[in-house]
Structures are given as C-alpha cells and as structure tokens.
C-alpha cells in the first residue's frame, strides 16, 4: 500500500514559537492531503484540505493564520503552527488519497506537539 | 450537518464471541461509509468500505439506509482484533468525518 510519513514524530516547543510539521507521500503523488487534529481520547477532527499549487481550504472554526498550510509539491505538505500556545498541544495527523483510488486515504503516523 | 456517532467508547468481549461495533450517521446525500482501524502503536488504516461489500479479517459491515447505520460485525472475535475502530463518512471531495471511536478489547 501507499505510505505517508510525517516529521517530526514529536516536538516540544516554548509558547510563542512556531512549529513546522511535514507530511510526505513516499511512493505516490498526492495533489490533495488532509490535516487532522486529535485530542487525547477523542476522535480525529479535520482541520484543512491541502491542495497542491493552490491555497488550502480550512474547516469552519480553524484559524488559517494560525495554522499555515503549504503544499508546494506533489509529495509534500507542511503545517506550521504559528505562535504556538499550550492549547495547541495535540496530535496532528495527515492523510492522502492516491490518484487511483480516491476513496481510500493513507494516514501518516502523526506528530505529537507539546507547547510549554 | 453530517455526523457520525459511535455510541460505545469501550467494548470488551471474550475471544470467540461475536462482536458488533455500532455506527450511526446523519447525512443528507448518498453516503459513503468506511471503517478505519488503529492497532496499538500503528497508524490509522482502512479496514473496509461499504461500496466494496467485502469481508476483511472476518469483519463485515452492511449499510442500512433505513436505520442510518453501518455497524461492524465479526462472528468470532480474535485477540488480534483488539484495537481502536473509527467509523467514517465521506462528505465528498474525499473529506472524512469520523465518529468518536470505539476501543475494542478481546479478552483471552
């Protein structure tokens, strides 16, 4: 199956700093990637759709200036949490469908962000 | 609004017993439904989808539009089935709405 990687797997940062999380499709091209957020013992919440070569589309209630998404190539999307605060601490997961099966999404392993 | 409800956060059954994980949805259009599974220390992965009508690892799920349900079933549970299970609904444009998840534990 297709593989999606994320880097870093975990990160700790100070309040007020920015953190970049990468999502890569390793063996396929992804024109679309999705970013989710998962709080402890809760479900995945879709944050935004990352579109290669164009602006990301954000779900209602997600601040686009807070969570910057860049999808500069067909294999890489980045999520930057700007001016992070403790309430941004969460598990961030990306996913991508392949071009030959839009119904199946492949998920990254997730990135745990802790903001002190 | 689209919504997926999994009423059980935790489900525990004995090995060899039947398993049913419940999922109900609300969606105004024609739904596409999925079950995703996350084993311990592994990433989320697709288990099955309703359009395939297939059985994966002994699991099946039937879409019941009248009851707006997509329950996941397995006649004889195995210890390796212990995992977190998420029911998901496609909103179109490949966007998924997830249920709260059910943690299934199979006791030996």
Q: What's the pLDDT tens digit per position in B25-41?
A: 998 878 889 999 999 98
Residues of B with CB under 8 A from a CB of A: 32, 34, 43-46, 49, 51, 86, 90, 93-101
Report the greatest alpha carbon distance in chain A: 42
The tens place of each residue's pLDDT in chain A, 116 residues long, gives: 789 999 999 999 999 999 999 999 999 999 899 999 998 878 899 999 998 888 999 999 999 999 999 998 999 999 999 999 999 999 999 999 887 777 788 999 999 999 99
User: How many Å apart are CA A22 and CA A69, to the nearest integer?
Assistant: 10
Taking contacts as CB-CB distances below 8 angstroms, the residues of chain A near B86 are 43-44
- A42/B contact by beta carbon, under 8 A: yes
CB contact under 8 A, B96 and A43: no
Contacts of B17 (CB under 8 A, 6+ apart): B76, B77
Contacts of B63 (CB under 8 A, 6+ apart): B31, B33, B50, B69, B70
Task: Give the bridge partners for B46, in sequence order.
Answer: B36
CB contact under 8 A, B32 and A103: yes
Taking contacts as CB-CB distances below 8 angstroms, the residues of chain B near A43 are 86, 98-101
Q: Which of A42, A46, A110 sits opposite B96 (nearest CB)?
A: A46
**pLDDT computed for residue A78 by the predictor:** 96
**Tokens matching residue A75:** 């294999």
**pLDDT computed for residue A35 by the predictor:** 97
**pLDDT band with cut points at 50, 70 and 90 for residue B90:** confident
Q: Which of B34, B43, B49 sits opposite A107 (nearest CB)?
A: B43
For residues B79-98, give the mean pLDDT. 89
**pLDDT computed for residue B93 by the predictor:** 67
Integer CA distances (angstroms), A48 to A6, A32, A112, B8, in order: 16, 10, 18, 27
Q: Are A66 and A110 in contact (CB under 8 A)?
A: no
User: How many Å apart are CA A89 and CA A100, to the nearest integer?
Assistant: 35
User: Counting one residue from A and one from B, how many pairs have CB atoms under 8 Å apart?
Assistant: 42
Closest CA of chain A from B101, distance in Å: 6
**pLDDT computed for residue B34 by the predictor:** 93
CB contact under 8 A, A97 and B49: no
Nearest CA in chain B to A99: B94
User: How many Å apart are CA B95 and CA B46, to the nearest integer?
Assistant: 14
Going by their DSSP bridges, the two strands B72-74 and A76-81 should be labelled as unpaired
**pLDDT computed for residue A62 by the predictor:** 95
Closest CA of chain B from A103, distance in Å: 7
């Amino acid at each position: 199956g297709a593989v999606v990687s994320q880097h870093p797997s975990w990160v700790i940062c100070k309040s007020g700093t920015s953190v970049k999380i990468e999502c890569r499709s390793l063996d396929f091209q992804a024109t679309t990637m999705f970013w989710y957020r998962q709080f402890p013992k809760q479900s995945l919440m879709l944050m935004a759709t990352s579109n290669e070569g164009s602006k990301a589309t954000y779900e209602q209630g997600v601040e686009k200036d807070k969570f910057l998404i860049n999808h500069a190539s067909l294999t890489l999307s980045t999520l930057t949490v700007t001016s992070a605060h403790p309430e941004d601490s969460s598990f961030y997961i990306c996913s991508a469908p392949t071009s030959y099966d839009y119904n199946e999404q492949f998920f990254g392993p997730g990135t745990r962000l802790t903001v002190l | 609004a689209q919504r997926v409800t999994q009423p059980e956060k935790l489900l525990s059954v004995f090995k060899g017993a039947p398993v049913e994980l419940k999922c109900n949805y609300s969606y105004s259009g024609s739904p596409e439904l999925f079950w995703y599974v996350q084993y311990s220390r592994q990433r989320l992965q697709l288990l099955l989808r309703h359009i395939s009508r297939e059985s994966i690892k002994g699991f099946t799920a039937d879409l019941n539009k009248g009851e707006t349900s997509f329950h996941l079933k397995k006649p004889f549970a195995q210890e390796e089935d212990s995992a977190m299970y998420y029911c998901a609904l496609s909103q179109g444009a490949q966007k998924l709405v997830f249920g709260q998840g059910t943690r299934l534990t199979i006791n030996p």
